Amino acid sequence: MSIFSATISRINRAMATVSGGAFLLISLVITYDVIVRSLGGRALGYADLLSSLAMVLGATAALGYALQVDAHVKVEILTHLMGSQLKRAMTVFSLGLLFLFSVTLTWQAWVLALDSWRMGSFMPQTIFSIKLAVPQLVAAFGYTMFSLQALVATLDFVVSRDPVSEREAA
């Protein structure tokens, strides 16, 4: 494993941990808010804001890690009918398409975030003034890590010497 691949893997593992923490935060804040409101207390004014920010972080931060551990959904209806060479070629093709898709997603996320930053846009209907570019930049970084992991997965598969890799056997 190259230094580049190992670094991407470590960053994706850390981001997956942060993603889990974000979803834990959402669940704690919403649980607290529901309990307080059911007891006649006053709702937190910022539960929606925290949930929105944590959802952006949680949803995009774990994409690269999910690819790293081969947790994305795959449709393998015909793979059992293919020989090892065709199966390998189809895997390279699908990983290449995934990389192209992730790069397009990453590029557009950065364009959107930088445009929002330049315009000075703020998140609508929030208690705190938060620039809209902040969650968009978080998402763009998550997509960037997804793209880098897609590149690593594609290159690792292409250079593997084993005609039937672990990815195909799963």
- Per-residue confidence in pLDDT tens, the chain, 170 aa: 689 989 999 999 999 999 999 999 999 999 998 999 899 888 887 888 888 888 899 889 999 999 999 887 777 787 788 888 888 888 899 899 999 999 999 999 999 999 999 999 998 876 778 898 999 999 999 999 999 999 999 998 888 855 444 444 44
Spatial distance between the Cα atoms of 13 and 66, rounded to a whole number of angstroms: 9
The pLDDT assigned to 14 comes to 95
Read out DSSP for 28-58?
HHHHHHHHHHHTT-PPPTTHHHHHHHHHHHH
Nearest Cα residue to 113 out of 125, 105, 101: 105
- pTM assigned to the model: 0.82
C-alpha–C-alpha distance, residues 30 and 38, integer Å: 12
Tokens (6 digits) for 157: 């598969």
pLDDT of residue 1: 63
